[in-house]
Chain A
Amino acid sequence: MNDVKDLLELALSDVPGRDARVDPDADLARGRRLLRRRRQRLAGLAGVTAAVLCGVLVPLALQGSAPGHRPAPAAAASSRPQPGHSQPGHPQPGQTAAPDKQSRQIKLVAWVGAQPPGYQVAWMPKGWVVQGSTPFALVMAPPNAPNKNPDVYSDKLVVMLQSRDAAAPPADWASQPVNGRPGKFDVQGDTQILTFKIASGQWVVVQAPVSLGWDSAELAKFAGGVQVLAAAQQGRG
């Protein structure tokens, strides 16, 4: 047998499903769901943009249109809402979304107790526990996590050194520096991954479930408290 195509045909020869009945309805439903979510997200973004524009432009327009009223630059600046200083009757851009986000977010709290081998962490998710700790990985999960196996990382917070067989994180991931050093962030399904460089030049991977409600900055805050000790080891594969 010389032809690679024959070989690939052989690989599929005993794989079931050649005559499987196709019902497009399930794919159609999944496509519609995804389209609906995209449109909702776009609508949400449009709403936030509109709120930002209203919050900034309308007060400026009102000031500018007042006859004979030309405030000095300093006075004009002080009359605008300042970031981080909420004023009654002048909601900050994005303020409406914040309480919802905060209510869903599991907060970071300072680490208490003995540090695990391999990795030291300054923070951990509130109410979570260490499920497993080896030189290869530190695994945290809620105490009632359905899967208690520390080698299964789904829906858990994991810290590990980048595998020896993996290269640097893909260039198309979003940039998210950690402690001023390069970091790359990506969301893959229900999992967020932050890969960042430490002083020794090694890459560290923090994997967190989206259900934690953290954004990349919060994940970077957690990552910023991670210290890799001499006992930590890279995995393979």
Chain B
Amino acid sequence: MPRSSRDEEFSAFVQTRRTGLVRSACLLTAGDTHLAEDLVQTALARLYVAWPKVRRAGTESAYVWRIIVNAHIDEVRRPSRRRERHVPELPELPAPPEAFPDGLGGGEVRAALGALPPGMRAAVVLRHWLDLSVGETAELMNCSEGTVKSQTAKAAARLRDLLSPAAVERTYP
């Protein structure tokens, strides 16, 4: 099939950005690489459809991330997914420590990320991993800047709590 300029530009975008997108999406999915790949595939297909408009506006990354974040939240909200993830009542937890402990492994961090609600996880990934501003994150998540700030702060505190030496010892004795 002959390649149009849309094809050429889109292919160049995919070539340079795809690996980073999948890896970043892995943080959203708490290490579920298959779901991360699905999210990126969905986002890239929709990016191709909207390519001329998005390219003109120069908002390719924001467009892709908006789709990835929303698709992930939709996926987590799906009843079929929810019903397969029963969790017990959360216990009362002590105040989180000031810093993350040393000697953690990637698996422990991914498990802690997985314990965050999807919106909170999205806020922390967009702010701390992609280095988006509060305003950019709020626009992308379609919420207020105050919500982004509170979600990010709560996420950091919750991660510290979940990854405290005592909690890690309980989970990985």
- A7 contacts which chain B residues (CB < 8 A)? 100, 104, 109, 159, 163
Stretch in B15-23, B54-62, B133-141, B143-151 with 4+ CB within 8 Å of A: B15-23
A12 — nearest CB in chain B belongs to which residue? B23
Taking CB atoms, residues of chain B closer than 8 Å to A191 are 78, 80
Contact B7 A28 (CB under 8 A): yes
Is the Cβ of A10 less than 8 Å from the Cβ of B106?
Answer: yes
The contact of B83 among A8, A18, A163, by CB within 8 Å, is A163
For window 140-190 of A, CB contacts with B under 8 Å fall at 151-154, 158, 160, 163, 165-166, 170, 188
CB pair A8 B47 closer than 8 Å: no
Per the bound structure, the CA–CA distance linking A165 and B81 in Å amounts to 13
Name the contact of A24 in the complex, choosing from B15, B31, B74 (C-beta under 8 A): B15
Contact with A along B15-41 (1 / 0, CB 8 A): 100110011001100010100000001
- Tell me the complex Cα distance, A137–B128, Å: 39
Task: Beyond the given A5-B129, A7-B159, A165-B82, please list 14 additional residue pairs across the A-B interface where CB-CB is below 8 A.
Answer: A1-B102, A4-B124, A4-B155, A7-B109, A8-B124, A14-B106, A17-B22, A22-B15, A27-B10, A30-B44, A35-B49, A154-B80, A163-B82, A188-B74
- In A97-121, the 8 Å CB interface with B consists of none
Q: A31's contact among B45, B82, B102, B105, by CB below 8 Å, is which?
A: B45
- Take A10-B106, A13-B106, A28-B10 as given contacts and tell me if A205 and B49 are in contact as well, using a CB distance cutoff of 8 Å: no
Q: Is A56 an interface residue (CB 8 A)?
A: no
Within 8 Å CB of B51, what residues of A? 31
Q: Interface residue tally of chain B, by bracket?
A: 35 or more
What secondary structure prevails in chain B residues at the interface with A? Answer: helix
Contact indicator A12/B79 (Cβ below 8 Å): no
Do B45 and A38 have beta carbons less than 8 Å apart? no
Known: A17-B22, A28-B11. A8 touches B128 (CB 8 A): yes
Q: Does A138 contact B (CB under 8 A)?
A: no
A11 to B48, CA, bound (A): 30
Complex contact A160–B156 (CB within 8 A): no
Chain A contact residue count (CB 8 A cutoff): 50
Binding site for B on A (CB under 8 A): 1-2, 4-8, 10-20, 22, 24-25, 27-28, 30-35, 38, 136-137, 151-154, 158, 160, 163, 165-166, 170, 188, 191, 193, 205, 207, 235-237
Name the distance in Å between B31's Cβ and chain A's nearest Cβ: 6
Minimum distance in angstroms from A96 CB to a CB of chain B: 27
B82 contacts which chain A residues (CB < 8 A)?
A: 163, 165-166, 235, 237
Q: Would you call B23 and A188 a contact (CB within 8 A)? A: no
- B109 neighbours in A (Cβ, 8 Å): 7-8, 10-11
Q: Contact: B86 with A34, CB < 8 Å? A: no
